[in-house]
A and B are shown apart, each in its own frame.
Chain A
Amino acid sequence: MTDTAPQAEPAQAAGPAASVTMPIAKALNSALREAMRADEKVLLMGEDIGPLGGVFRVTDGLHAEFGEHRVLDTPLAESGIIGTAIGLAMRGYRPVVEIQFDGFVYPGFDQIVSQLAKMTARHRGTVSMPVVIRIPYGGHIGAIEHHQESPEAYFAHTAGLRVVSPSTANDAHWMLRQAIESDDPVIFLEPKSKYWSKGEVLVEPAPGMGGTAGMHRAVVAHPGTDVTLIGHGAMVHVLLQAAQIAEREGTSCEVIDLRSLSPIDWETLVDSARRTGRVVVAQEAPGHVSVGSEVAATIAERAFYSLEAPVLRVSGFDAPFPAAQLEDIYLPDADRVLDAVDRALAY
């Protein structure tokens, strides 16, 4: 797919390495850098992404390397950013837009849902929309209102968009590069509470994980036999923690990292559900009409005769994201996941 390896800073020890260790934010940064080096049509747009490097520093150093014509510090107007990104895509550019925080994407919602998502269909395929919209999302950062939301269901519900969310540094790097290489619009949800979590980034995608198809695959993050735990983004880390605790109590949990929320890799999910017979799906987002709802419904439909218990959902409450002091109560933790595991086992 590509012959340029992720760059860590400072450079790693000499000699070819199979992987490089870096935090998620750096993995995203190197993905942007490599994509921009590989294709001069790739340009970045967003608020404060220039000399400042973005409020999370994901675009750090890119303005210096590529200049103001490829790293556009834009006026403070989300609809304007996304609407002009659409026009730039019509002109042959591949804009990668940074939305500063999850709760600030809504001023651009119409441009995403009515324009970006539908433009290719409206043109019967003669116009492509290779636009990536990066959105730092989710809680656990103790911030004020509008800075901790999980808006993925709005986008997953919209035909014409691809919606993905990495949970590891390796996925952050390669999925972003795949999103940029895709000719379709991709909503790229970054688990901001994990920006500084380090991980190995492979110098090339793992076998079978390349291209758009690879971007949309779910993976087994931890194998198990008794209960399947499904989640995406930062929630995957909670599920891994829950699996570890459950293991000590004698329950073997398989953790599946969804990675892609639209489309969803049903084969991997249904295969696991058929093996374990018990499924818990967890997310930070409110549960009502959510990604978790779709996962539960489809697994019930496709793995019905293998299930020993209904698919159980663990989610943020169906209330607005609360003030930061209450976020640990609002957001599902390992205990709430394990409570659902216990309930699944009790059927």
Chain B
Amino acid sequence: MRPAASILLLTTATGFGFGLLAWLGAYAALGLLPPEAPALLIAGIALALILASVGLLASVFHLERKERAWRAFTQWRSSWLSREGVAAVLIYPLAIALGVAFLRDAQSLWTRLLGAATLVGSLGTVYCTAMIYASLKPVRQWHNAHTAPDYLLYALFSGAVLFAALRTAALGAAGPMASVAALMAALACFAKCAYWRHIDRQGPLATLASAIGLPKGTAKALDAPHFSENYILRQMGFVIARRHAARLRRLALGVGFALPLVLEVLAGLPVVPLTSTLLALGCAAVGLLIERWLFFGEATHVAALYYGRPV
């Protein structure tokens, strides 16, 4: 599948934003946010909403008819894309209410309840995003049990790295967030390896013979309907050389997960905590963009079979 820049930005930026919001919500729900430093929560909520907005705006740029984008909120009964839109919009008032409740009384029942609601809402939005891809039956690399939990894990990982950097900037130390971020990096790394192992061992979804209704025989493509690339081939016939994919996978694991893991451990010791957490944040962002590019670039679509392309 063609990795469009707008979708890469959407899924990674909202991952950082909603991931951070999930951690802020969890901290507020447990009453762990220090009430003497309200700036941490307020700056966190602001940053999270800015990142989410950047992602959502990027997704609007993916649309051919941007002026009709409002229509995407209407079909939440059947469409995960519509549900994502509705959930993403509902998060804003929730997060702002959490900030207000925290400023009034950091330990109140309202703060805790709104924290829990923010946690559930942000993870729910990420889940909707993941299900857009996981529900597409023609793409075997997406339509599997890995996609949804993986997206949640990457959002929690990116949010943890961002929260650790923010907490260090505000309070001088990452506190427990350094260990949490390191743990999330390890889990995300493990999940990514498990996902790659899964898609590498998966057989093709269908054969060309079954695609043309002759499942008993064998078939090979003789003549294509047209000589130049068309919309279907540009979108769904995207093929990445195995050699490049292997190199990018190593890069994603190293930069995206291994380096942030080491840096968060350093920050937790604490060795130059601010530099470490900021570097970890940068590495995670670059690594996750590569990871997301691969999520699209390595995905194959059954329709490409008709043109004799590998799926």
Q: Do the two shown chains form a genuine complex with each other?
A: no
Q: Which residues of A contact B (CB under 8 A)?
A: none
